[in-house]
Amino acid sequence: MTFDIWADNDFRLAAFPANIPDHSINEIAKKLEKAIDDPDMSPFVAVDAESGKVIAYSLWKYTPERSHEQWIKERDERVNSWPGAKLDLLIPMFTEEAARREKVMGSQRWWELDTLAVHPDSQRQGVGKSMMKWGQEEMEKRNLQSVIVATPRGSGLYTQFGYKEIDSWGCDLRPYGGPGIYTNTLFVKFPKDPQIHA
Ligand SMILES: CC(C)(COP(=O)(O)OP(=O)(O)OC[C@H]1O[C@@H](n2cnc3c(N)ncnc32)[C@H](O)[C@@H]1OP(=O)(O)O)[C@@H](O)C(=O)NCCC(=O)NCCS
């Protein structure tokens, strides 16, 4: 049903051993399927009309209110959902992310882009941009504040839609065979912020 979003992501290649791709695809498929019946989740799958193949998928969600304990629980569940991963790399990254998200999001509800992936064969053709547009229209219509945790690849796209960088964190992948420092970025946008995409 889906394809592997992280196939060429440096962090994923360093942190997750070779058997992880199947697990990753199954996790994404399960997540999108579960989201169909959840009123706070908006999953999308883009299918090529000719081949019938999935070329992109995205998941927007309206996050629940969270106490500090719930942030910690969510972080631990996330770490535990990747059996076999290199935990000395995974735990600090997920811990940094959870702490920064909690600092910015607190116990409020946010409109969050959980997942956006365009198949490598269909990238750089405007598919990501068009999948972003629905989320932005919904955000304005419902007057929501929005947050995105971005990979290095996604950052340029979110900036084009008026998202502002709030924080970033990273790790050195070289001891794990990776190319260097890998950085994730936390972006936010408020309903009245201008959209600046072309
Ligand atoms: C990031 C991603 C969703 C972009 O999708 P896309 O369909 O290729 O994007 P678009 O063609 O609509 O391009 C929109 C903008 O994204 C940015 N972008 C897209 N691909 C990029 C790349 N390889 N490197 C740097 N910036 C890129 C550019 O700013 C681009 O605007 P431009 O073409 O005017 O320069 C896609 O590359 C992808 O799925 N990557 C792997 C998974 C991932 O990292 N997802 C983001 C999670 S936060």
pLDDT at position 31: 87
Ramachandran class of 180: left when φ > 0, alpha when ψ lies in -120 to 50, beta otherwise: left
pTM for the whole structure: 0.91
- Would you say the CB of residue 156 lies under 6 angstroms from ligand 1? yes
- Domains of the chain plus CATH, in order, are 10-189 (3.40.630.30)
CA 69 to ligand 1 centroid distance, Å? 34
Q: Convert the pLDDT of each residue in 143-188 to its tens digit.
A: 999 999 999 889 999 999 999 999 999 999 999 999 999 999 999 9
CA distance 50 to 72: 45
Q: Which two tokens stand for residue 113?
A: 């882009």
- Would you say the CB of residue 154 lies under 6 angstroms from ligand 1? yes
Ligand 1 atom nearest the C-alpha of 118 is 39
Q: For ligand 1, atom 46, which residue shows the shortest CA distance? A: 154
pLDDT at position 192: 77
Q: Convert the pLDDT of each residue in 71-112 to its tens digit.
A: 999 999 998 888 788 999 999 999 999 999 999 999 999 999
Of the chain, the end-to-end C-alpha distance in Å amounts to 31
Q: Convert the pLDDT of each residue in 21-42 to its tens digit.
A: 666 777 788 888 999 999 999 9
Ligand 1 atom nearest the C-alpha of 152 is 44
